[in-house]
Amino acid sequence: MSTDRVLFLLARPPIPQDTGAKIRSWNILRGFAERYEVDVLSYSEPGTALDGGSKNVQSWAEAAKEVGVRRVEEVPNESLVHPTSAPHFVAAVLQGLPVSVMKYRRRVFSGAFRKMLSQGYELLHVETLHLAGELKALKGKDRPFVTLNAHNVECQIADRMCEIEPSPLRRTALSLHARNMRRFEREAFAASDAVLAVSREDCRQIDALCDVAGRAFLVENGVDDSYFMPGEFSEENPDEVVFVGSMDWLPNIDGVVRFAEDILPRIRERRPATHLTVVGRRPHPEILALHAPDRGVTVTGTVDDVRPYVRRAGVVAVPLRFGGGTRLKILEAFSMSKAVVSTSLGCEGILCRDGDHLMVRDDAESFARACLEIMEDPQCRKKLGIKGRELALARYAWPSVIERMHAEIDRRRNGVGHGF
């Protein structure tokens, strides 16, 4: 282990791992803790501060220390459990900030950050863009080497949301948010020494935003291939379609509603027994309204383990129309040898081929036909599953992803140019 010290900033504890962002954050934190002496500063939801005796947070602190983290400090933030409000939006517009950043601007956190920073660290890792405003506190020659994890290019997501938003009022609001996010991202990327991006396309966009070639480098999303294991092929129900994801995230909400309203009815015309199971935490009211098992849709809400739902599905559907980054849900399905149908955007950033590892379809009719083809052809399901698992093992197992991350950070800190 290196004797270098790292201050690691988190927007919230990455346990329980019930979102793709938390899974990525946890594995990157583990990777840093394997290599360096790591102290963590994180926001927490109200009532779950480490000194409050909360079982969930205590288990997070213990888990962090078990993987080598030296110290965990938390700042409670009541805003994390509340949806964005109109006053939040107005305040964001007046300050020229993206509305999604407002929840993470607290004086007490900034004070704790400056206090910890004064103790001396060789490296500062900011695990989410939403905390990048703290980088303004860095001054002088003794500033640490700064890495920023870009889970997405957020202004791109806002732009894509604008393109499909039918309401003029909401489209105007999204346009303001996109403008402010673009400015915020540009400043955050420019203030970092290196930006971890989840895809090559994100790397290109980040470099273009901050006008610095090579500022971003590739740290792909990964998968725990020993946890997401294939089941018995006989366990599958070919008429079962599953969607897995956080159901309070707009791209997922839009994708599921679109599937249920535009794609599922086309499939059920030919296979009336087809059933969609939507698995994910905090279902939005639009998602809850879809729950109708007698009409082929079940919404589970939070589950302890997504694997049984994925294991019995004949098709894993990823019908996303906007968003960014890469989809952990696809990598997990690949690792479990499942047949996937995705939009082009849904599998963006993953080195997969249409017809080989999955099927890629963008309009409702062709997406439905691809699902039907997989349902009706066991050999097609098996072939896609085998190829997907091979790809997950060869490229996306977390240890190899983290090893490439360390190698690139070493090169940059030592001034040896940029890889990847």
Per residue, the 3-state secondary structure of 18-71, as one string, reads CCHHHHHHHHHHHHHHHHCEEEEEEEECCCCCHHHCCHHHHHHHHHHHHCCCCE
User: What's the predicted TM-score (pTM) here?
Assistant: 0.81
Distance between first and last Cα of the chain = 24
The residues of the chain scoring below 70 in pLDDT are: 46-58, 324-326, 416-420
Q: Look at the chain and count its residues.
A: 420
- Report pLDDT for 325: 54
The vertex-152 CA angle with 363 and 200, nearest 5°, equals 80
In the CATH hierarchy, which fold is given to the domain comprising 233-395? Rossmann fold (3.40.50)
Q: Given this model, what pLDDT does residue 20 score?
A: 84
Beta-strand relationship, 194-197 and 275-279: unpaired
Same CATH fold assignment for domains 5-222+398-413 and 233-395: yes
Residue among 254, 286, 150 nearest 207 (CA)? 150
Task: Assign domain 5-222+398-413 one CATH number from 3.10.129.10, 3.40.50.2000, 2.60.40.420, 1.10.10.10.
Answer: 3.40.50.2000
Return the H-helix or E-strand segment holding 260: none
Q: Report the distance separating Cα 261 and Cα 256, nearest Å.
A: 8
The domain spans of the chain are 5-222+398-413, 233-395
Show the tokens assigned to 46: 């109200």
Joined tokens for residue 283: 């279902």
Q: What is the pLDDT of residue 53?
A: 42
Q: What sections of 259-397 are H helices per DSSP? A: 264-270, 285-288, 307-311, 328-335, 364-376, 378-395
pLDDT at 415: 82
Is residue 101 within 8 A of residue 133, CB to CB? The reply is yes
Amino acid 58: pLDDT: 52
The per-residue pLDDT of the chain, averaged, comes to: 90
Q: What is the pLDDT of residue 45?
A: 79
